Amino acid sequence: MDGYWETMKSKGFTPNTMRSVRSTIKCPQCGFVFSLTYARTFACRGCAQAVYSCPKVRCAKCDFEFPLSNMNEVGDQYRERSLADHMGEVIDDYYKERGIKKTR
């Protein structure tokens, strides 16, 4: 394992967190390249489904929605569900900490 992963692991990051930050997704419609964390932060902000383990990702540039299975690191339906669950928990925790409603 590289030093970056060891440092992030010591701060409480999980493999799913690393996948959501390091792995890139290319929008099939416009070609924009971004991470899942970026998409959830900007394009999915306020969407109730983002908190409930949404298996989709929305392009922050053209607003096109497509399945998480388009990510390089998602090889099967179990990893896709695990990543969707993880991102839902991250978003839910963020909203709870700041007293933000889960809908737009």
pLDDT, position 22:
65
Contact between residue 69 and residue 26 where contact means Cβ atoms under 8 Å apart: no
What pLDDT is stored for residue 62 in this prediction?
94
d(CA 89, CA 52): 8
pLDDT (tens digit per residue) in 14-30: 776 666 666 778 899 99
Cα 43 to Cα 4, 8, 13, 33, 65: the distances in Å are 27, 25, 23, 13, 10
Dist CA 9 CA 31 (whole Å) = 31
Model-wide pTM > 0.95: no
Amino acid 75: pLDDT: 65
